[in-house]
Amino acid sequence: MTMPLLLADADVSRLPLWVILGYLALLLLLGTFSATFFRGTSKDYFVASRSIGPFLLLMSVFGTTMTGFALVGSSAKSFELGIGVYGLMASWSGLIHSAIFFIIGIKLWAIGKRYGYVTQVQFFRDRFDSPVLGWMLFPILVALVIPYLLVGVIAACKTMQPVTAGMFPDLFPMDPLPNGKQHPFHGSVPPWLTALIVCFVVLCYVLFGGVRSAAWANTFQTIVFMITGITAFYLISKALGGPAAASEMVLKESPGNADRSLMGKAYFFSYFVIPLSVGMFPHLFQHWMTAKKAKTFRATVVLHPLFMMLVWVPCVIVGMWAAGLYAAGELRIPPTAAGTPNANAALGAIVRELVQNPLVTGILTAGILAAIMSSLDSQFVCLGTMFTNDVVARVAGKDRFSDKQLIWLARGFVLVIVAVSYVLSLMLLETNVFDLGVWCFTGFGCLFPLVFAALYWKRATRAGAIACVVCTVVTWSLFFWDDIINSGPPVFGQETPAKYLVAGMMPAIFIFAASVISLVGVSLATQPPTASAVAKFFPEKR
């Protein structure tokens, strides 16, 4: 017999929730199973004993790089700006990410293996022989990862609310809207519970297995969200009478979405700075360190652009079709507070109205959660690793702790970070934290010259590196203030629909220029590093 409190609205199926719970259970099972391979050493916890093979590296790096944006954001941006979003984000990323894996990832892996590094800060501190640089970089990297992490937790909450609306009207009631109508999320799984479940599941496997469990889980999650996008595309195109009929409808109803007339050329060009961020992501650095050999990177370098294409092309086309249907008045999309259609709801709306299959809704939601959680787990492990190695072991001395104590220290930090993230995500739930995401990417992308110079420019000096970080932080803060904090009209740029631009370009391009100029200028103006310092990081050509 069912308890009255657990009865769903008559026309609401709970099948999507069961599919999502099934996915989470499988993930938990896989994560727990992978933790049985844990070798009990700190090296295994932080870098999986540098034993990860090509397939796991490919899937874990791809899963970590992709967030929920790959499914929801790609279709949303296509709905808003048209198909140009693929060139803007995915084809730039396909080109640049692989270049970075090739020129930065492999070399950092070699240096990390040779000198035993597990964090970026360790590398930069030694490369420029500067503890000051290490202490400067640590809070900056943490400050840029945390909002990125919160975006994931909040996105999971926002994804679950519409999907589970009406499932638990007695258990999770919501007050009616001011106009007297029922709240659209009445009876849905509340954000506090979604965030709790997501954080708990991720915590369960990363707490015991460390980065190895994150790599296994990411592999599973990547497979799930890749299949999801393609499945959604197939079912939606079938419901629209085939892909050709659907695209013809867009040409008739919303032709601007089939070209780039909604997008500026300078904006399109300047976006190249954003994918450079992968060169400075601390969580990606940690995944690179797990590779067994340099050759392990080969599959990642070659197949990353192909995987991006497989995920993004179907979602961008679906977003374009949603724009056509919306323009034709055949698709209802909930409005934002400003009264414009909520583009982030476009994918969910088209699946709900055209496919009308609770099973598919469940699979799609599981796919979105997979894309979100595949970044979250790596970020949690990474922050735990950084606090353990860059702060505690650094201040107290690594020799003060046994290997076992280091692992428990890292686990303690992971636990604290998950708890803090949980609380912060609930506190910031109703703020526009999504805007912070692109600013995080901007910050990482504009620090890229630092890692490039560290690896390829022998003349780069300690003072140049510090100047680069300071200039990046100062210019980033100015533009960030202008876009996010300044309540008056923008001082440096212009607010255009859905984005803040400076002279028609991403502000990132100006911050990037400041980063390069300060690094090069100050390095050339200061005494070159000694030959022995350079020799440690630049192998002689044989």
Tell which positions 482-541 bind other proteins, by CB under 8 A: 527-530, 532-533, 535-536, 539, 541
Identity of the residue, 104 or 280, whose beta carbon is nearer to other proteins in the bound complex: 104
Please give the residues from 15 up to 34 whose contact with other proteins meets the rule CB under 8 A: none
Give burial (CB, 10 Å; 0-12/13-18/19+) of 42: buried
Query: What phi and psi, each to the nearest 5 degrees, are found at residue 152?
Result: -65, -50
CB of 378 to other proteins, least distance (A): 21
CB of 329 to other proteins, least distance (A): 21
The residue ranges of DSSP E strands in 288-359, in sequence order, are: none
C-alpha–C-alpha distance, residues 439 and 445, integer Å: 10
Rule CB under 8 A: choose which of 48, 58, 106, 511 binds other proteins: 106
Identity of the residue, 88 or 284, whose beta carbon is nearer to other proteins in the bound complex: 88
CB atoms within 10 A of CB 187: 21
Please give the residues from 181 up to 240 whose contact with other proteins meets the rule CB under 8 A: 237
Identity of the residue, 131 or 184, whose beta carbon is nearer to other proteins in the bound complex: 131
Rule CB under 8 A: choose which of 123, 148, 268, 285 binds other proteins: 268
Stretch that binds other proteins, among 187-195, 244-252, 410-418, 436-444 (CB under 8 A): 244-252
Identity of the residue, 28 or 103, whose beta carbon is nearer to other proteins in the bound complex: 103
Rule CB under 8 A: choose which of 24, 50, 155, 208 binds other proteins: 50
One symbol per residue from 347 to 386: x for binding other proteins (CB under 8 A), - otherwise; what is it?
----------------------------------------
C-alpha–C-alpha distance, residues 164 and 21, integer Å: 12
C-alpha–C-alpha distance, residues 371 and 376, integer Å: 9
Stretch that binds other proteins, among 311-319, 470-478, 498-506, 509-517 (CB under 8 A): 311-319
Identity of the residue, 432 or 530, whose beta carbon is nearer to other proteins in the bound complex: 530
CB of 445 to other proteins, least distance (A): 15
Q: Are 56 and 213 in contact (CB under 8 A)?
A: no
Is 327 a residue that touches other proteins (CB under 8 A)?
A: no
Rule CB under 8 A: choose which of 23, 208, 272, 387 binds other proteins: 272
Is 274 a residue that touches other proteins (CB under 8 A)?
A: no
Q: Is residue 291 classed as helix, strand or coil in its secondary structure?
A: strand
Please give the residues from 136 up to 175 whose contact with other proteins meets the rule CB under 8 A: none
Residue 101 has which token pair?
A: 């894996």
Please give the residues from 60 up to 99 whose contact with other proteins meets the rule CB under 8 A: 83-84, 86-87, 90-92, 94-95, 98-99
Rule CB under 8 A: choose which of 6, 29, 132, 302 binds other proteins: 302
Please give the residues from 407 up to 466 whose contact with other proteins meets the rule CB under 8 A: 461-462
C-alpha–C-alpha distance, residues 48 and 93, integer Å: 27
C-alpha–C-alpha distance, residues 321 and 83, integer Å: 10
Residue 174 has which token pair?
A: 């919501």
Stretch that binds other proteins, among 178-186, 213-221, 246-254, 332-340 (CB under 8 A): 246-254
CB atoms within 10 A of CB 426: 17
Q: Are 247 and 396 in contact (CB under 8 A)?
A: no
Q: Are 198 and 369 in contact (CB under 8 A)?
A: yes
Please give the residues from 395 up to 414 whose contact with other proteins meets the rule CB under 8 A: none
Count, residues near other proteins per rule CB under 8 A: 73
Contacts of 71 (CB under 8 A, 6+ apart): 225, 228, 229, 311, 315, 347, 364, 367, 368, 371
Residue written as token pair 């790096």 = 61
Rule CB under 8 A: choose which of 144, 189, 246, 501 binds other proteins: 246
CB atoms within 10 A of CB 526: 14
DSSP conformation letters of 474-529: HHHHHHHIIIII--SS-SSSEEETTEEEBTTB-THHHHHHHHHHHHHHHHHHSPPP
**Residue type present at position 324:** G
Identity of the residue, 246 or 446, whose beta carbon is nearer to other proteins in the bound complex: 246
